[in-house]
Structure 1
Amino acid sequence: MVILLALIGLGFCAALSRSLYLEENKSITAKFRADVTLLATAFEREVQLNLEILFALKASVGMMPEMNAKLFEKLTRQVLERSPAIKAIAWSPVVSQEDRAGFEQRQQNWYPGFVLSEIPATAGALPAEAPPWLVPVQFIEPIADNRAAIGFDLSSESKRRTALLAARETGEMVSTAAIELLQEQDNQNGLLVFAPLYSGASDTTPEDRAARNYGFMNGVFRIGELVKQSIPTAIDSNILVQIVDRTDGAQDVIYSTGRSSDERWLRSLIHEIPLAPVAGRNWVVQAMPGATFVSARRGYLPLLVIGFGFSFIVLLVFFAVRSLRQNAELNQTKRELEKISLTDALTGLANRRHFDLYLEQEWSRALRQSQPISMVMLDIDYFKAFNDAYGHPLGDQCLKQVAQALEQVVQRPTDLAARYGGEEFALVLPDTQNAAAVAEACRVAIQALGIVHELSDVAPVITVSAGVCSLIPTRKMSPAVLIQQADDALYEAKETGRNKVLDKGYFGGV
């Protein structure tokens, strides 16, 4: 009853502790999601603000009768100083193939040695045939960091051209997918946002807009800078934050604070916040906490509940457990004593007392079930001479090896191998019809040990003689009959040459 009550108490403490633990999990998860939502809102606001800046620049440029390097530098200087997330701002006119040479010549007035360039064919360029129009970068600021982009044809690369065409036909600002920036020395990825310019109104058909499109304002954005500007403090290193582009079913991670493959991230707590469309792109802020993030925010109440509860219950059952342990130790000691009393100290086989008890037990069972029971008596040939010649230590070692050989042959759970006395051994084999085969296997195994015995008259090694008797007990018999018959067979085997098995073959009653 005490143990049952203790289990009930422990179960109640565990259930209460688990309930508090789950509630704590919910609280940590809710706080984590709230933090991610605030992060996503701040990031979305920063992105929209920078897009609005680009849109305002587009409107300013659209009112200019013409554009030159000095005017462009003046328009963009303060914008770039106040908007670190904008890596660069460029003006790119639409140039026909017929006017290509003239454009290059005019541009050399601003940049001596200017030449219009295209992306190499190995880097994802469009097909070899020349397109009817080009969109080269004419002016870009800050020029010091982006001189390599001057003259580059934006339409010569597939991702840029796709965004250009979409912006041209819709009249809206359109962003590329994640792209390798020419102006980055370390090949970082970024985004190009194109804002189209038209001569006249742009709210017409796509065909009219394409015909009146004369250029593009484009801003170069680095997602890392947008994140840094929208979140002044450093992101917790135990939270993985990723910006994922899912436009047209894609799954492009365009920014990440760490490796998503790390096992420390708890994917079961992943949280996603979709953002408003970013220049035609569908972005999602995705966040996962690490195991350390969760563990650092856990309280001690669940542990205190289960700790104090367990301690109190343990005190209540201490004496009961102590009593049970003492009883178990006494029982173990009793079993060990019984084992010692039933085991031969030298060979580890059953001793004579164990043999007598087991034979009585199996005899009674065979009598009830009318089943045969067999006995094998074995004696080491010329063992006295062995002892005298080689000494008692080697004689004891010989007895141990013979015992081990018998155990290897007699392996059925119901069979018993015992040391009957001195150099004599006995096997009790319940429900065994062919006991002589078992005895022969024992004889062969013992001879195979190869224990040298130079004084033996039958072999140069240790051998045994064996006598076998099998019978079905009746109420007129006693176990002594089985012992006597096996012993007689053993005596006869020794008298007729030794190193042999003699089967008495006695079945029936007396």
Structure 2
Amino acid sequence: MKRQRLTFIGLLLFAGLLLSIVMLLFFSHLETRRIQQEFESDVTEASHAFIQAMNSHFEALYTLQLNLDTNGIPDAQGFAALTDKILARFPAITALEWIPEVDQADRARLEQRANEWLPGYVITEQVASGERVAASERAVYYPVYYVEPVTGNEAVIGYDMGSHSLRFEAVQRARDTGQLQLTVPLQLQRNDVTAQGILSLLPVYEFPEPMSEAERQDSLLGFVAGVFNPAQIFLSSPGLTQVKPFALTLIDTLAPQSNKWVFSLVPVLDTRPVSQQRHYHYSQKMLTQEAISREYAPDYRYVHQVLSKGGRRWVIEATPMQDYIRQHQSSTPWWVFWGVNAFFAVAALVSFFVFQRGQQYLDTLNQQHDRLLAVNEKLERMSLIDPLTGIANQRAFEESLDKAVRVARREQSPLVVVLIQIDDYAHFVSQCPQDMYESSLRMLANELGRTLKRPADMMARLDDDRFAAVLPNTNNGEVVARHLRTAAERLNLANTEMSANPYLTVSVGAITVFDIKGITAETLFHQTEALLYQAQQEGFNKVSAEVRQQQASTEKALS
């Protein structure tokens, strides 16, 4: 017995450990999904703020295009006046340019006109060595004619966009579609420093809204161009109120492999001890594989599309730092793990003490067994008693009737079944106070019970207004029925407030069976119900009786 107890406790502890591990894995999975969803939400929020900021910068370019469409191409001073407010409002626009379309025949005239306000102006191109030289002869040129601010952008003045394949591809798309077009990420020179940027182009036509591609090519005057710094736009976007510890890389998925990366921002921990909370700022540099394996959680990497416009498709690839995961982790999985283990440990401890005292309880239970049997017998008897009247209930009646039918069939003795129903019961109850109604029922039940003389006879209450009697070995059911009716009359129970029949009376149906063969208790009960119904059809305070003789002969009496 002791070995069985120890085996049970060991199995209980093992089951607890196994369940706790399963729960730990399950809640850890839920925790991972929650962190992934929160991370994706943070990245999506930052992406939306970035694209809204980009659209604001595009609107600035549209404003400049509309001005040139409406008022014509200005001179250098006019272009500077148009762009000053735009550049002041959008510092991430590093240059605004006017790029005319110039045929080979008009090249000399354009260079001569430009020299009036900018001596030494020449249409140039860049050779393989990186040096700027005068552009070679070609059918059409797309030189930078105006640029603002001039300071820092001197190197691009006169540069022919048609001399660079990636820039020329964007020029052709803008010319033929009439819509905003973007170049792939390019290395742009400003203040003798090479930086990553995006060139945006909007065409300006001689005639408003040319319909076909041929019309657009024929009526093209040039392009309004803007050089954007997407990284600066992202960092200055209104939605970026707090730098969270995850790295961001903006990728142009349609660009060649060498020009895919628009920018890469890596979070750097602030060294200033402002507060106990860790704060970060973004640094513009590439995320190395070594840094990913050491400080980041690449399993949570998330890619979100932010822009599909101007012939480009940009996506943000975000990778959270381990610190981001730690900030968003909760202790729930481990609380569950230790909670389940603690529960089963307590259960095992309780089981041990229960087993220790089990033998003592077993002896006590054996002693109480006999007492419980006695209580059960008492409860069984109580379950056969009607609580209001104290006489037998319907269950006791059904058992008694079934037993009496079996005895009568076996001993071939007569049997009487009587059904009594209070006349006009619903009206009587509605007119009686509750205490008077209950008292009347108890008095009626007691009087009916006293009318039955023999111990084997039984009176029962079936429901609110019906009583029934079973009289084994009795051959005068009609006489018994009349005595029961008389007993109800003898009580003289009445409610003087009732307008009709104020006295409580009963209708009685009785059947006497001498040959019980082939008759079930249920059939006998239904036959008695039919006799009760006949009595009620004759009016109040009536008796309907029937005697079933041998050879299925019957005698009926109604009074």
Instruction: Identify the TM-score tier after normalising by the shorter chain.
Output: 0.5 to 0.7
Does 1:275 find its partner at 2:283? no
| CA–CA separation in structure 2 for the residues paired with 1:257 and 1:38 | 16
What residue is the counterpart of 2:456 in the other structure? none
Change in 2 beyond 3 A, CA 1:249/1:91: closer
Does 1:254 find its partner at 2:301? no
Contact between 2:182 and 2:199, CA under 8 Å: does it hold in 1?
yes
SS of corresponding position for 1:98: helix
Q: Percent of aligned positions with the same letter in both sequences?
A: 27
Match of 2:53 among 19, 24, 46: 46
What residue is the counterpart of 1:299 in the other structure? 330
| CA–CA separation in structure 1 for the residues paired with 2:241 and 2:193 | 25
Contact between 1:124 and 1:157, CA under 8 Å: does it hold in 2?
no
Deviates more, 1:211-220 or 1:271-280: 271-280
| CA–CA separation in structure 2 for the residues paired with 1:68 and 1:282 | 35
SS of corresponding position for 2:303: strand
Does 1:113 find its partner at 2:120? yes
Change in 2 beyond 3 A, CA 1:129/1:88: closer
What residue is the counterpart of 2:432 in the other structure? none
| CA–CA separation in structure 2 for the residues paired with 1:105 and 1:203 | 31
| CA–CA separation in structure 2 for the residues paired with 1:37 and 1:198 | 38
Contact between 2:12 and 2:344, CA under 8 Å: does it hold in 1?
no
Change in 2 beyond 3 A, CA 1:145/1:94: same
SS of corresponding position for 2:124: coil
Match of 2:183 among 170, 173, 176: 176
Give how far 1:84 is off.
1.8
Letter in 2 for 1:66: I
Give how far 1:116 is off.
2.0
Give how far 1:132 is off.
0.5
Contact between 1:86 and 1:221, CA under 8 Å: does it hold in 2?
yes
What residue is the counterpart of 1:189 in the other structure? 196
What residue is the counterpart of 2:11 in the other structure? 4
Match of 2:98 among 91, 104, 114: 91
Change in 2 beyond 3 A, CA 1:130/1:282: same
Contact between 2:96 and 2:225, CA under 8 Å: does it hold in 1?
yes
Give how far 1:164 is off.
0.4
Letter in 1 for 2:260: D
Deviations along 1:400-423, one digit per CA (max 9) or x if unpaired, are xxxxxxxxxxxxxxxxxxxxxxxx
| CA–CA separation in structure 2 for the residues paired with 1:207 and 1:134 | 18
What residue is the counterpart of 1:480 in the other structure? none
Aligned residue pairs: how many? 316
| CA–CA separation in structure 1 for the residues paired with 2:204 and 2:347 | 85
> Where does 1:10-409 land on structure 2 (aligned, <5 Å)?
10-122=17-129, 130-183=137-190, 185-230=192-237, 231-236=239-244, 238-247=245-254, 252-258=260-266, 259=287, 261=289, 262-263=292-293, 264-310=295-341
| CA–CA separation in structure 1 for the residues paired with 2:48 and 2:347 | 56
TM-score by length of 1: 0.58
Deviates more, 1:63-72 or 1:270-279: 270-279
| CA–CA separation in structure 1 for the residues paired with 2:113 and 2:103 | 14
SS of corresponding position for 1:37: helix
| CA–CA separation in structure 1 for the residues paired with 2:10 and 2:77 | 91
| CA–CA separation in structure 2 for the residues paired with 1:254 and 1:305 | 45
Letter in 2 for 1:244: I
Question: Root-mean-square deviation (CA), in Å?
Answer: 2.6
Query: Can you give the 5+ residue segments of structure 2 that lack an aligned partner in the other structure?
Result: 1-6, 267-286, 350-559
Deviations along 1:24-58, one digit per CA (max 9) or x if unpaired, are 22221111111111111111111112112101111
- Which of the two has higher C-alpha Rg? 2
Query: Can you give the 5+ residue segments of structure 1 that lack an aligned partner in the other structure?
Result: 319-510
4+ long deviations beyond 4 Å: 122-125, 248-251, 308-318
Give how far 1:305 is off.
3.0
Deviations along 1:445-494, one digit per CA (max 9) or x if unpaired, are xxxxxxxxxxxxxxxxxxxxxxxxxxxxxxxxxxxxxxxxxxxxxxxxxx
